[in-house]
Amino acid sequence: MYLTRFSLIGLIFLIVLSLGTAALAFTAPKAEGLDVDMVYSDPFAYKGEIKVRGAVASLEPEKNRFLVIDYREYVACQGVACPAKWATVSYSGQLPPSGKIVEVKGTIEKDEGAKGGFVIKASEVKVK
């Protein structure tokens, strides 16, 4: 009886573990938010605070800025080298490492010096 109960708990544990592992295998790295390519075409169409997901392409620590490329393009191209469009993120906190997937919460602001003429003024940056 004890053996059966023990086996049952063990089996449930193994099922949960295997399903969890399988789920992680096809969802990682997961991030939520608007994609960079979507925002880039018409950035000022987005009002108020938005959430953008992307991969960190490069850092500009002296300006407290970093560049993000489209999440899906990063996944498809398996790197940060190929995209022609990216968004500049201005963030006063610690900059995320290059090559990481991030979720950026912030507002769109005009900046003629940045690619596409805008920056995302971030209030929160989550490294995934």
Where does this chain bind other proteins (CB under 8 A)? Answer: 4, 7-8, 11, 15, 18-19, 22-23, 25-32, 34-35, 37-42, 44-48, 50, 53, 71-73, 75-77, 82, 84-85
Considering the complex, state which of residue 59 and residue 72 has its C-beta at the smaller distance from other proteins.
72
> To the nearest whole angstrom, how small is the minimum distance from the Cβ of residue 64 to other proteins?
26
Are residues 56 and 109 in contact, defined by beta-carbon separation less than 8 angstroms?
no
Distance in Å, CB of 31 to other proteins, minimum: 7
Which residues is 88 bridged to in the sheet?
A: 67, 119
6: three-class secondary structure by DSSP: helix
Q: Distance (Å, rounded) from C-alpha 74 to C-alpha 83?
A: 8
> Toward other proteins, which CB reaches closer, 64 or 126?
126
Q: Which is nearer to other proteins, 93 or 117 (CB)?
A: 117
Q: Count the neighbouring beta carbons within 10 Å of the beta carbon of residue 116.
A: 17
Q: How far is the CB of 61 from other proteins (least distance, A)?
A: 29
Q: Which residues contact 103 (CB under 8 A, 6 or more apart)?
A: 31, 32, 33, 51, 52, 53, 125, 126, 128
Please, what is the minimum distance in Å from the beta carbon of residue 71 to other proteins?
7
* C-beta closer to other proteins: residue 59 or 77: 77
